[in-house]
């Protein structure tokens, strides 16, 4: 049982149904077992999967496709139009997977036509109160966003990333797998997998060894990642020369290969160093 499954099973109310004060658009499609609380609003072209709980005063606008067993807590605003001056009412989407916990006052906006048209959230994510996910962002699986963490537009967050409270991420940044962003960090460049960043602007302070051990990553892989980290961040090399030194080791660890592939990508923001 995942963390979110335990939360959802504990929170799920008995019975199913739509509260008489809720407003559900005729074109909305609600699967069996969807619970819609008092004064919630479900707009046009919203699809909600089985067993999802929509709490009181939640607003979900479409076009949006939402999976099964999610829990939207009170006052969250989901699928609203993007906060982008270029947006002129084009048809864009929001997609949310399964078993996500969306806490109070979270805001998630649809995509923009110029940004690909879709904002997406994967499975088993925990978005704490006041989190903001802007247009055209793509969030993977099993991430944690602490209170007031915010993504500007076009941000990509990979699986198991952990964002502390009041973290801000600049548009077009990428956050790698199992990266840890300390509370209050202002991230203006890409964050490689498995590292910890902190500060304003954010700087790298080491590997996320706690997260790696919790993920049962082998001691050998952690050793190789430490070696690669020192090559990139401690030896004063150019990124190209650092990549050349790490490449012979990449075949020995899937985590190291993931780290190497990330820093080799061409990108507009550059990586946090």
Cite the active site residues.
135-136, 153
Let me know: does 225 contact 254? Beta carbons within 8 Å: no
Residue 183 to residue 197: CA distance in whole angstroms: 9
Angle at 240 between CA 238 and CA 243, to 5 degrees: 110
* Alpha helices, DSSP H, located in 138-264: 209-214, 219-233, 239-246, 254-264
Let me know: does 161 contact 178? Beta carbons within 8 Å: yes
Query: Around Cβ 20, how many Cβ atoms within 10 Å?
Result: 6
Residue 90 to residue 155: CA distance in whole angstroms: 20
Q: Which residues contact 47 (CB under 8 A, 6 or more apart)?
A: 28, 29, 62, 64, 65, 66
Dump strand ranges (E) for 17-106. 17-18, 23-24, 29-30, 35-36, 41-42, 46-48, 53-54, 59-60, 64-66, 71-72, 77-80, 93-96, 101-102
Let me know: does 79 contact 85? Beta carbons within 8 Å: no
Q: Which residues contact 260 (CB under 8 A, 6 or more apart)?
A: 228, 243, 246, 247, 250
């Amino acid at each position: 049982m995942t963390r979110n499954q335990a939360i959802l099973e504990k929170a799920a109310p008995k019975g199913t149904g739509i509260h008489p004060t809720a407003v559900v658009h005729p074109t909305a499609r609600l699967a069996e077992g969807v619970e819609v609380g008092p004064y919630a609003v479900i707009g046009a072209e919203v699809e909600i999967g089985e067993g999802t709980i929509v709490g009181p005063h939640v607003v979900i606008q479409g076009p949006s496709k939402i999976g099964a067993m999610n829990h939207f807590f009170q006052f969250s605003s989901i699928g609203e139009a993007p906060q982008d001056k270029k947006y002129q009412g084009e048809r864009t989407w929001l997609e949310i997977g399964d078993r996500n916990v969306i806490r109070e006052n979270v805001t998630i906006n649809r995509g923009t036509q110029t940004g690909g048209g879709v904002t997406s959230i994967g499975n088993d994510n925990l978005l704490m109160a006041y989190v903001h996910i802007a247009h055209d962002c793509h969030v993977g699986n099993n991430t944690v966003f602490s209170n007031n963490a915010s993504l500007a537009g076009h941000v990509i967050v990979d699986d198991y990333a952990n964002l502390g409270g009041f973290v801000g991420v600049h548009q077009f940044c990428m956050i790698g797998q199992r990266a840890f962003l300390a509370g209050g960090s202002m991230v203006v460049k890409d964050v490689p997998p498995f590292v910890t960043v902190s500060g304003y602007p954010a700087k790298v302070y080491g590997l996320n060894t706690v997260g790696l051990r919790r993920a049962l990553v082998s001691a050998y892989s952690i050793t190789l990642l430490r070696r690669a980290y020192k090559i990139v961040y401690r030896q004063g090399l150019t990124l190209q020369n650092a990549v050349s030194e790490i490449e012979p080791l990449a075949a020995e660890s899937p985590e190291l290969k993931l780290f190497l592939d990330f820093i080799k990508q061409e990108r507009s923001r550059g990586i946090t160093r």
